[in-house]
């Protein structure tokens, strides 16, 4: 896959309410600059949905909090694929 506009930093797991674990990462731009989730950063969500409510676990099973409000996604590859689909859609719309 060609280099897309996104990369990632750190690998961890997100647990849902039933305790199922899903791989996740913090999204960055290709140059490594983290992407901040502005909704969390500005406190626009009800406190019951804040970053402390998202159950993030490192590979050793230790829970941590996303205090920097970085955007949590399944993978950078997934986000690059979604971005590419959007670019393809824009080209189709112009034709």
Please report, in tens digits, the pLDDT of each residue of the chain (95 residues total): 457 899 999 999 998 878 899 999 999 999 999 999 887 777 776 666 555 567 899 999 999 988 888 999 999 999 999 999 988 876 555 65
Model's pTM, two decimal places?
0.76
Residues 6+ apart with CB under 8 A from 52: 65
The token duo for 82 is 């979604």
């Amino acid at each position: 896959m060609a280099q897309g506009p996104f990369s990632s930093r750190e690998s961890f797991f997100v647990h849902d309410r039933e305790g199922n674990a899903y791989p996740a990462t913090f999204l960055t731009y290709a140059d490594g600059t983290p992407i901040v989730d502005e909704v969390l950063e500005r406190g626009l969500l009800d406190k019951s949905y804040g970053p402390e409510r998202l159950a993030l676990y490192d590979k050793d099973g230790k829970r941590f909090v996303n205090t920097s409000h970085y955007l949590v996604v399944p993978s950078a590859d997934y986000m690059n694929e979604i971005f590419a689909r959007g670019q393809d859609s824009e080209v189709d719309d112009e034709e």
